[in-house]
Amino acid sequence: MNRVLKIGLRSSTIIAAYILLAGCAGQQDNAERLPGSNPIITDAFTADPAPLVVGDTVYLYTTHDIATGDVLYAMNDWLVYSSKDLRHWQAHGPAMREADFSWAEANNSAWAAQAVEKDGKFYFYAPVKHKEPDRGFAIGVGVSDSPTGPFVDARGSALVTNSMTTVGRDYDQDIDPTVFIDDDGTPWLMWGHFTCFLVKLKPNMTELDGEIRTIELPDFTEGPWLFKREGRYYLAYATIDEDNPGNERIAYAMAPAITGPWEYKGLITGEARNSFTIHPGIIEFKDQWYFFYHDAQLTIGDLKPATGRRAVAVEYMDFNPDGTIRPITQTDAGISGEPGS
Ligand code: FUB
């Protein structure tokens, strides 16, 4: 399917999904919930989970949906939570706000972000809309001595701007950054919306190192997440299947090197419940792999689930002997039971 058709499909699907969800009641009985049940975060509407393991603790960075009424998306800060068992989460408030990037428009465009640790410092990569003249989504980087922040703008300017990516979609292709630090210490930044971009970062984590390249993947839509296991590189991403259109699903590819060749391996999981979008966050923690995502099933007060009111969830993730990922079923139970139960 050509790009114009894909864009049309996405817009119409968003609107259809939104109308469908507007009348949809959410599940809610937090008193009955076992720790580790989905959604795992219930004090706010959260999406786009980005977990980070630091010693015996997992820090979970999320976007923060504050949309009310008919507003599709409204997000102006990123929240951070922590847990030592992934079942009990402590809220630490906003890790960063889009207004912390002085070059950003600051108009509710704090979309999917990710934090990584390098040499005792924490770096937070985040998309926000850039002010004139380089309008469109851009990627900034924050830095902090603490995983809970507060993060401050590390550069005073965007790391990636719209004018730096001239292929693919204009205006909103520079979103959803994921940063992966390879075993030799080389950091890589990947991001994109219908085009998947990859570039090496300098060791200071705040400058690009070389040319921006593109990675070809079937039906790449957004939300890339890079990780490595047993010498193999994995790239999970949100996809809309051109032959079976609907909501986003999560697919993945594997490669012998981060620059490729990337081989498509199929779906990790299907459409999120009640949500047009879905977004992966994958970690190994205490010898178990976990798959974080979001759906829209949470009600808070009078606010019902919607495309712009999502909730972060988690499932166990397992691999086959050949390294491929076993398909994941999205559940209410989440990780409240033992793996494989
Ligand atoms: O949350 C806003 C956008 O929706 C994210 O950047 C995408 O990955 C999708 O989840």
pLDDT in tens, 138-171: 999 999 999 999 999 999 999 999 999 988 878 8
Q: Where are the domains of the chain?
A: 3-19+44-288
Residue minimizing CA distance to atom 9 of ligand 1? 277
Amino acid at 140: G
- Is there a cis peptide before residue 261, judged by omega within 30 degrees of 0? yes
- Of 264, 321, 316, 274, which Cα lies nearest the Cα of 40? 316
Contact 87, 60 (CB under 8 A): no
| Residue 267 pLDDT greater than 90, yes or no | yes
Q: Which atom of ligand 1 is found nearest the CA of 294?
A: 10
Q: Which atom of ligand 1 is found nearest the CA of 127?
A: 6
- What's the pLDDT band for 243 if we cut at 50, 70, 90? confident
d(CA 48, CA 36): 18
Amino acid at 111: W
Residue minimizing CA distance to atom 1 of ligand 1? 111
Q: For 284-305, write each residue's pLDDT tens digit.
A: 999 999 999 999 999 999 999 9
d(CA 17, CA 36): 28
Q: For 9-33, write each residue's pLDDT tens digit.
A: 343 343 333 333 333 333 445 557 8
Mutate-to-test residue for ligand 1 from 10, 11, 48, highest number of ligand atoms within 8 A of CB:
48
The CATH H-level (homologous superfamily) assignment of domain 3-19+44-288 is Glycosyl hydrolase domain; family 43 (2.115.10.20)
- Distances from the Cα of 10 to the Cα of 80, 280, 286, 295, 305, angstroms: 29, 19, 38, 18, 20
pLDDT of residue 24: 33
Q: Classify residue 90 by its DSSP letter.
A: E
- Residues paired with residue 234 on neighbouring β-strands, in sequence order: 227, 254
Mutate-to-test residue for ligand 1 from 62, 277, 292, highest number of ligand atoms within 8 A of CB:
277
The answer, as to whether pTM is greater than 0.75, is yes
Q: Which residue has the tokens 């550069």?
A: 155
- Give the burial class of 156: count Cβ atoms within 10 A of its Cβ; 0-12 exposed, 13-18 middle, 19 or more buried: exposed
Q: Classify residue 162 by its DSSP letter.
A: G
* Binding site membership of 47 for ligand 1 (Cβ less than 6 Å): yes
Q: Ligand 1 mean position to 61 CA, how many Å?
A: 13
Tokens of 266: 């199929």
Q: Which residue has the tokens 């410092």?
A: 121
d(CA 105, CA 230): 42
d(CA 330, CA 248): 14
Tokens of 316: 């166990």
Q: Ligand 1 mean position to 322 CA, how many Å?
A: 31
* Binding site membership of 309 for ligand 1 (Cβ less than 6 Å): no
